[in-house]
Amino acid sequence: MIPNKIVTIFIGVFLTIGSIYLALLSWNAYKAHDYIGISPKTPHSISIMGEGKIIGLPDVAKIQLGYSVEKKTVAEAQKDNSNKMNAMIDKLKKDFKIDPKDIQTANYYISPQYDWNDGKQTLRGYLVSQNLNVKLRQMDRVSSIIEAAGVIGLNQVGNLSFEIDNPEQLKQAAREKALAQAQEKAKTLAEAVGVKLGKVISFSESSSDNPPQPFYALEKSAAGLGGGAGPTVEAGSNEIIIIATVEYEIL
């Protein structure tokens, strides 16, 4: 049997703890009632945009070379197409020293060709077409390759573009300029309204890389139309733009 005195002490301690717990619940409910309808406090802030521009010179050219031919049979069309395209690939590798990894077959297809006479469909032959995507790291060879394509007899030359192979370093420079401009604008605004800038609360950015449109000056005949001198091609420059949006806390 547990002595009555110990039981009495145990009950007393239990009631005391229970009373404290109920008191805490009542206090929390009371404080929560005080904040009903009040939004959490947020720091005052300003949001500023800055722009950074960097001009870079392209160091890579991309061009698509192709040939389409129609013959009576698939075998004839394939043979003619393969002879010309293989000759072009061989020239790119041997004469222009282009790495095989920078030469990629873009498409190859065979399509039957039909004539319609008096509502009847007649098979005329077969069209075989093949295209190569070529990446040039020697910018001064663009014109020579276009000329070579014409001499070989290719009849599809296009999609010429100029790019910066690794633009991240230029983007970082543009980003730093954008952030510096945003910070300067924020300081000027803070001084004008009589406040102080605190820490950066948020940051976001958008970017654009505007490649130039290549300029052509055809000297004689166009590539694929009997050969002749290739065009004069100017790569121009690329403009990289970073727009930074920075939110500063106001103290």
pLDDT (mean) for 27-38? 53
Q: Is the pLDDT of residue 238 over 60?
A: yes
Q: Which residue has the tokens 């394939």?
A: 78
C-alpha dist (Å) from residue 29 to 19, 33, 41, 141: 15, 6, 20, 79
The band of 40, judged by pLDDT with boundaries at 50, 70 and 90, is: low
In DSSP terms, which residues pair with 108 in a beta bridge? Answer: 130
Do the first three CATH levels of 42-58+165-251 and 60-163 match, i.e. the same topology? no
pLDDT tens per residue across span 141-174: 899 999 999 999 999 998 898 888 888 889 999 9
| H or E segment to which residue 213 belongs | none
pLDDT (mean) for 106-116? 93
**Alpha-carbon torsion angle 244, 247, 248, 250, nearest 10:** 150
Report the pLDDT value the prediction gives residue 125, as an integer from 0 to 100.
95
What CATH code would you report for 60-163?
A: 3.30.70.2970
Closest CA to 22 of 32, 11, 14: 14
What are the residue ranges spanned by the domains of the chain?
Answer: 1-40, 42-58+165-251, 60-163
Report the pLDDT value the prediction gives residue 230, as an integer from 0 to 100.
63
pLDDT (mean) for 115-134? 93
Q: Is the pLDDT of residue 135 over 80?
A: yes
The band of 79, judged by pLDDT with boundaries at 50, 70 and 90, is: very high
pLDDT tens per residue across span 211-235: 555 544 433 334 444 555 566 777 7
Q: From start to end of the chain, where are the E strands?
A: 45-56, 60-71, 103-117, 120-136, 156-163, 197-210, 215-217, 232-234, 238-250
Q: At the topology level of CATH, where does 42-58+165-251 sit? A: Translation Initiation Factor IF3 (3.30.110)
Under 8 Å CB-to-CB from 18, ≥6 apart: which residues?
none
Q: Which residue has the tokens 């319609």?
A: 116
CB 233 within 8 A of CB 58: no
Q: Is the pLDDT of residue 105 over 90?
A: yes
